[in-house]
Amino acid sequence: MNENIIDIGIFVTYALLGLAAAAVILSAVFQLFANFRNARGGLIGLAVLVAILFLSYLISTNEAYEAFNVGPTASQWIGGGITATFMLIGLAFVAAIFTEVFKLFR
């Protein structure tokens, strides 16, 4: 009897979590179209992030590692994630240095 109540509670929780996620996404899309001029900077940042992820996926190798049970597709995704992480860390350092130099001359 208690297992049925727990199962129902889990399904209700999943449904409410899905509803909350849908509400957040729909609200963000609505605000995007309502205030497109204000959202331009965020969209540019999102486009740059997608470009970095796509580029890092393309330049990573798809070599399979049988010792770790990693196939070619998973290897390329893992390599792309690591490459994107290094690229974003490098961009963060460049942005920090640029900001400090800009403040120096301001």
pLDDT in tens, 32-51: 888 888 888 888 999 999 99
Residue type at position 93: F
Q: What is the SS3 assignment for 23? A: helix
pLDDT for position 19? 98
pLDDT for position 24? 96
Going by pLDDT thresholds of 50, 70 and 90, the confidence category of residue 91 is: very high
Going by pLDDT thresholds of 50, 70 and 90, the confidence category of residue 1 is: low
∠ CA(62), CA(83), CA(87), 5° rounding? 155
∠ CA(86), CA(58), CA(88), 5° rounding? 20
Angle between helices 2-34 and 36-59 (to 10 degrees): 110
The pTM is what? 0.68
DSSP assignments along 46-81, one per residue: HHHHHHHHHHHHHHS----BGGGTB-HHHHHHHHHH
- Rounded Cα distance, 45 and 42, in Å: 5
Percent of the chain with pLDDT over 70: 99
